[in-house]
Every structure is written in C-alpha cells, then in structure tokens.
Amino acid sequence: MSLEGHQTVSRKRSAHLKENAVGFLESLESIYQQHFSFKKISEVKETFKANNFLKQNAVVIDALNASQDVVVQALDNISDIEDYIMLHIPQMEDGNNFGVAVQLAALKQLKDSSESLSKGLNDLSKYYSDRADAMDKLGLSSESSSKVQKEENDGTDAKIIITKETKICEGQQEFHRVEAVYAVDTKYYAIAKRTLRAVKSAYISNLDFLFKNAEKIEKPKGDNDGGSRFTSYY
C-alpha cells in the first residue's frame, strides 16, 4: 500500500473513532457499573469471604477480563490516532512551525497515555501468579492415590493382588493465610477498577486535546497548508 493509501486508511479510522467516541465512553460506564458497584473496598473483601471464593474468585476474574479488553481496545484506538497524525505532519521549514509543534504535543500526550495503560495491563496480568503463591501457602486439603501390589500364595497357586490406596491430607487453613488470599483478590479487583477509570480519563483527555487543537492539527501551516482535513473528523 502506498503512503497515500495509508493516509486514507488512517483518515477513515479516525473518522470511525470520532463517530463512536460517545458510544465507547458509554460502554465504559456500563462495564464500570456491572463489575465495580461496591462503594467501599472493605465491602469487596467481606463479600468474597461470605461467598467462600477461596478456591476461585469469578468476580475478580470477570473484572480483570473486562478491564483488559477495554485497555487493549483503547490502545488500538490510540495507535490509530497516532498513525493519523504522524502521516499528516508536513515537511519542516523555516518559521511557522507552531502547528507542527501542536501535532508533536498531541503525539507526546498519546504516547504517555499508551505507556500508562500498557503498564496497567501488565499489572493486571500478575494476578494469577500472585494468587497461586498465596494458595500454595494456604494448605488446602489434598488427596493422593497409589497402587499397592501384593503376592499371595495358598500353597497351590500364586496370586498377585493390586489394591488402590487413597490418602487425604487435611489442610490447616491458618487465619492469616486465608486472609492473604482474599487480600490478593481485593488488591487486583481495585487495580482492575483503577485501570478502567484510567482508560476513561485517558480517552476524554486525549479527545479534548484534539478537539481544542483541531485547527492546528488539521492545518499546521495555516490556511495555505495543503494538508489533511482533521476537522472533518474531530
């Protein structure tokens, strides 16, 4: 695909993002209400304990999945906007480069948002390993099986008898170990909530910057600039 072709694609994607910006923000609010309805973090932990979510916490897993999906979508959208701006930066010339400076400032803000959201995505991915470590120290009941082979001889024939033995080890669920598991769940529930709110804030702040500086981003060299028509979309 030619450079002009990439510019056309980036323009269409930018237009699509603008048209769906309100819908995306509304979906974030819907996801927030669905997964993060607790008012206090202490209520979160007590609810987990009351429902005996020790072996597996579906509430946290669902919240993590929802936040991760939103972050990845936001990162894709940011990348599309970055492509659009980068493909419409004019040739640098002596003087009258303020518009280009605005474009570069927009790219810097988008880059900062992308890095922050990527860090949040990385933080969310640590949940399972942290919870596994807490579970290993918990000492849940376990069951193990083994086969025992024994030979019997009645004086005439020899017989081999195989029996199965099952051993159950009753775990000692010490109070603080149990609390540690629920603490991990509560921590990552809070991280998922924070990450979702960070996506919304980043989305609003970046769109606000683009709206307020649309003219300079569209025509960085002024009215005589023959560049793209950013304001057609933002």
- Cβ partners under 8 Å of residue 42, min gap 6: none
Q: What is the pLDDT of residues 116-168, one digit of tens each?
A: 999 999 999 999 999 999 999 887 555 556 666 666 666 666 667 676 766 65
- Cβ partners under 8 Å of residue 105, min gap 6: 209, 213
Spans of all domains in the chain: 3-139+172-232
Residue 178: both structure tokens together: 């149990």
Q: What is the pLDDT of residues 27-58, one digit of tens each?
A: 999 999 999 999 899 999 999 999 999 999 99
Q: What is the pLDDT of residues 68-100, one digit of tens each?
A: 999 999 999 999 899 888 887 887 666 667 888
* Secondary structure (3-state) at 224: coil
Pick 95 or 205 by higher pLDDT.
205
Position 229 confidence tier, pLDDT thresholds 50, 70, 90: very low
Q: Using alpha carbons, list the distances in angstroms from residue 145 to 148, 163, 166, 167, 188.
A: 10, 10, 4, 6, 36
What's the CA gap between 129 and 213, in Å, rounded? Answer: 44
| Residue 16: predicted pLDDT | 81
Length of the chain: 234
Domain boundaries 3-139+172-232, corresponding CATH code:
1.20.120.180
| Residue 69: predicted pLDDT | 97
> Could you tell me which of 165, 160, 163, 162 has the C-alpha nearest to residue 146?
165
Q: What is the pTM of this model?
A: 0.77
Q: Does the pLDDT at position 233 exceed 60? A: no
| Residue 6: predicted pLDDT | 73
